[in-house]
Amino acid sequence: MLLPSERQNEDYFPHTITYEAFTKEVEGWNTKLEAKKDQTWDVPLSKKIQDYLD
């Protein structure tokens, strides 16, 4: 919660930002990220450029 003085100061940025998520969602993000990394590095850069230009 912000104090009234913090809320009125448009330049204020909180020291801590809290995010909430379900544990299974976070595990899913990690799994997707790892899969994406594997796919990205398996394809040669020249192939990626060619696919992008086509």
pLDDT by 10s per residue, the chain, length 54: 778 888 888 888 878 888 887 788 778 877 887 777 666 566 677 777 777 787
- Please state, in angstroms and rounded to a whole number, the distance separating the CA atoms of residues 43 and 46: 8
| pTM for the structure as a whole | 0.29
- Please state, in angstroms and rounded to a whole number, the distance separating the CA atoms of residues 19 and 3: 19
Q: Do residues 12 and 6 make contact, with C-beta atoms less than 8 angstroms apart?
A: yes
Q: Collapsing DSSP states into helix, strand and coil, what is residue 44?
A: coil
